């Protein structure tokens, strides 16, 4: 699924385009009890409810592909009788009229959805007549295929915030009655996957609101697919690998991470510029062994840390190499560079104060000379007083306490 596919489906969640035929649902309390189930003709809903439900469906296809929307593939055994793919094929074909299949779906989600509190499971059934498009994306009045799918949204249900309100029956201001309100979905999925404007029954498009947690238990137990991490999770994993390579030396770890992030950002920007100029195809770069090695060498990362980063990245990303463009953001990089600059200023200021305190006390002498003269410097006692002797020539510039001197 790419961004264009997502936008094409999202545009359908409007009154004039909507063809959702049926919606089923189950409301679950904080003890995982089914409080209510329902199954309705979607187009017969009252208008205000129709729009609210449609907005929840639309938000189940929100966010970035690869971060909020992950394309998952069913293993071969899940496509056999009794497997998850076969189960979802049956649920789709039933037009949500088979209550036994719906109950099984609810039970799967209730058992494996890690949420503390009430939540609502919604299942939408839609049939989309995918129109043929020309190379310039103009629609033709002929169908390319009929895309029949189910969309599942899992929405937390939270109590409204306490507050004051007008109590009409008592004609006074008092505590407002708190209601249970359905929040936007924080997970869900689309089956079959919509890929290049076509159904792919071997895949499912999985949605997570928070890309920092892909809910692997949901992926494995509800969908029957192998765990896949979001771009954010892969980035956090990579950052943790770099930081761990320096042991307890957190300052050095942050410095190395900033250097590596800057190199990655430069590579990504160069690729984009070359792609815009038509020099390269613009295909994204993945963080493979070769790229890691090159970046570590660019930044002169010492071998002990470099070895640790290489080996852990090789094992961690063997089956799921992250894209370079997902490993760093401009905002994060700017913040890291800002922090580094501030630390450099603090260090330089501290060193300067130390030097000035020695000069002000009169107890010390600070001498800056050309390194080529260091071996010629010597001390000598003249009239019982020790002197530092530095040979000079007529071309040497001599500055004492900030003032140039002619000797």
Convert the pLDDT of each residue in 230-286 to its tens digit.
999 999 999 999 999 988 888 889 999 999 999 999 988 888 888 787 777 767 889
Q: What is the pTM of this model?
A: 0.77
Indicate the burial class of 130 (C-beta count within 10 angstroms; 0-12, 13-18, 19 or more): middle
Encode 186-219: b = buried (16+ Cβ within 10 Å), e = exposed: bbbbbbbbbeebebbebbbbbbbbebeebbeebb
> Which pLDDT tens digits describe the chain residue by residue (407 residues)?
888 999 999 988 888 888 899 999 999 999 999 999 999 999 899 999 999 999 999 999 999 999 999 999 999 999 999 999 999 999 999 999 999 999 999 999 999 999 889 999 999 999 999 988 765 555 556 667 899 999 999 999 998 888 888 888 888 998 888 889 999 999 999 999 999 899 999 999 999 999 999 999 999 999 999 999 999 999 999 999 999 998 888 888 999 999 999 999 998 888 888 878 777 776 788 999 999 999 999 999 999 999 999 999 999 999 888 999 899 888 888 887 888 788 778 777 776 766 666 556 555 566 677 777 777 888 888 888 888 888 888 777 777 766 677 76
* Interatomic CA distance for residues 145 and 66, integer angstroms: 26
Name the token pair of 126.
């839609």
Nearest Cα neighbor of 217 from 158, 159, 154, 157 is: 154
- pLDDT score, position 74: 96
Q: Supply the mean pLDDT for the chain.
A: 88
Question: Which element (helix H / strand E) includes 141?
Answer: strand 139-159
- Domain locations in the chain? 3-228, 233-328, 361-405
Q: Which residues pair with 181 in a beta bridge?
A: 158
């Amino acid at each position: 699924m790419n961004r264009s596919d997502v936008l094409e489906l999202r545009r359908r969640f409007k009154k004039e385009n909507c063809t959702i035929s049926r919606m089923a649902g189950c409301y679950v309390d904080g003890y995982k009890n089914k409080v209510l189930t329902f199954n309705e003709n979607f187009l017969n809903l009252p208008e205000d409810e129709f729009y609210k439900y449609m907005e929840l469906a639309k938000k189940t296809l929100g966010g970035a592909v690869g971060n909020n929307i992950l394309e998952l593939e069913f293993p071969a055994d899940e496509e056999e009788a009794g497997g998850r793919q076969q189960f979802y094929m049956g649920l789709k074909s039933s037009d949500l009229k088979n209550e036994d299949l719906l109950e099984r779906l609810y039970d799967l989600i209730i058992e494996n959805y890690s949420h503390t509190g009430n939540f609502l499971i919604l299942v939408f059934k839609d049939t989309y007549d995918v129109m043929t498009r020309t190379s310039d994306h103009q629609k033709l009045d002929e169908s390319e295929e009929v895309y029949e799918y189910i969309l599942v949204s899992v929405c937390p249900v939270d109590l409204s915030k306490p507050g004051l309100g007008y109590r009409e029956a008592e004609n006074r201001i008092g505590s407002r009655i708190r209601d249970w309100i359905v929040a936007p979905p924080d997970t869900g999925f689309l089956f079959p996957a919509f890929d290049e404007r076509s159904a792919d029954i071997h895949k499912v498009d999985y949605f997570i609101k928070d890309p920092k947690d892909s809910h692997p238990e949901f992926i494995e137990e509800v969908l029957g697919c192998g765990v896949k991490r979001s771009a954010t999770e892969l980035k956090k994993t990579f950052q943790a690998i770099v930081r761990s390579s320096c042991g307890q030396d957190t300052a050095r770890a942050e410095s190395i991470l900033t250097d590596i992030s800057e190199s990655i950002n430069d590579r990504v920007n160069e690729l984009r510029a070359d792609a815009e100029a038509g020099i390269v195809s613009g295909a994204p770069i993945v963080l493979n062994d070769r790229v890691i090695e090159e970046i570590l060498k660019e930044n002169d990362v010492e071998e002990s840390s470099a070895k640790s980063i290489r080996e852990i990245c090789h094992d961690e990303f063997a089956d799921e190499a992250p894209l370079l463009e997902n490993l760093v953001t401009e905002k994060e990089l700017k913040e890291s560079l800002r922090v580094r600059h501030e630390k450099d200023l603090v260090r330089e200021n501290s060193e300067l104060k130390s030097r000035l305190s020695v000069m002000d006390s009169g107890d010390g002498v600070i001498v800056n000379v050309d390194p080529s003269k260091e071996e010629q410097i010597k001390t000598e006692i003249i009239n019982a007083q020790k002197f530092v002797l530095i040979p000079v020539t007529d071309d040497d510039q001599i500055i004492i306490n900030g003032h140039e001197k002619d000797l």
